[in-house]
């Protein structure tokens, strides 16, 4: 039994969209999974390949409950490298917001992993509110999957 396999690890919030994505009740473009974490494409992508890494158990944010970041750190590491490699990105931003004051909208811990490209417009802006179309998301999803 690992330190994470306590009853708390099983905690699911029935009203949480990320818990539903983890369980498969809601669809997602899943790009990575290990025993403690799942990663999928963000439907409102700021930049091509923008992904979210979430713990499998429901934890509201990075400062709630027991130390939660270590259990998803290997997934963040793996996803950042996966996106750099498969999408030929030139850089990566990592971001995790805790609390409404920080702009958090979904209260299940997540780390944004955002590939960045040297030739992209608006290079300095991390949050690109333009989002992405379904076709754009499907296209980048296929590209990430292609090297699997």
Active site positions, annotated: 110
Q: Which of residues 67-106 bind ligand AMP (CB under 6 A)?
A: 97, 103-106
Closest CB 30 distance from ligand AMP, rounded Å? 10
Alpha helices in 37-114 (DSSP H): 69-86
Q: What are phi and psi of 100, to 5 degrees?
A: -55, -35
Q: What are phi and psi of 25, to 5 degrees?
A: -65, -35
36-44, 66-74, 80-88, 133-141 -> range binding ligand AMP (CB under 6 A): 36-44
Q: Tell me how far apart the alpha carbons of residues 26 and 48 are, in angstroms, rounded to a whole number.
A: 22
- Binds 84: which of Zn ion, ligand AMP, none (CB < 5-8 Å by kind): none
By CB under 6 A, is residue 42 in contact with ligand AMP? yes
By CB under 6 A, is residue 61 in contact with ligand AMP? no
DSSP H or E stretch at residue 121: none
With H, G, I as helix, E, B as strand and everything else as coil, classify residue 100.
Answer: helix
Name which position in 19, 39, 41, 111 contacts Zn ion (CB under 5 A). 19
CA dihedral for 130, 101, 19, 80, sign (positive or negative):
positive
With H, G, I as helix, E, B as strand and everything else as coil, classify residue 17.
Answer: helix
By CB under 6 A, is residue 123 in contact with ligand AMP? no
2-10, 18-26, 34-42, 117-125 -> range binding Zn ion (CB under 5 A): 18-26
39-47, 65-73, 85-93, 117-125 -> range binding ligand AMP (CB under 6 A): 39-47
With H, G, I as helix, E, B as strand and everything else as coil, classify residue 142.
Answer: helix
Q: Interface residues with Zn ion (CB under 5 A)?
A: 13, 16, 18-19, 58, 108
């Amino acid at each position: 039994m690992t330190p994470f396999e306590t009853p708390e690890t099983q905690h699911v919030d029935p009203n949480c969209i990320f818990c539903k994505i983890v369980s498969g009740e809601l669809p997602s473009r899943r790009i990575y999974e290990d025993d403690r974490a799942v990663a999928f494409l963000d439907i409102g992508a700021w930049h091509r390949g923008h992904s979210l890494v979430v713990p499998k158990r429901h934890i509201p944010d990075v400062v709630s409950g027991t130390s939660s970041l270590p259990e998803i750190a290997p997934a963040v590491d793996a996803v950042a490298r996966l996106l750099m490699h498969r999408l030929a990105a030139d850089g990566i931003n990592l971001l995790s917001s805790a609390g409404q004051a920080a702009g958090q909208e979904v209260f299940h811990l997540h780390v944004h992993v955002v590939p960045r490209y040297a030739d992209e417009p608006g290079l300095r802006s991390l949050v690109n509110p333009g989002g992405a179309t379904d076709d754009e998301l499907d296209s980048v999803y296929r590209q990430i999957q292609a090297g699997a």
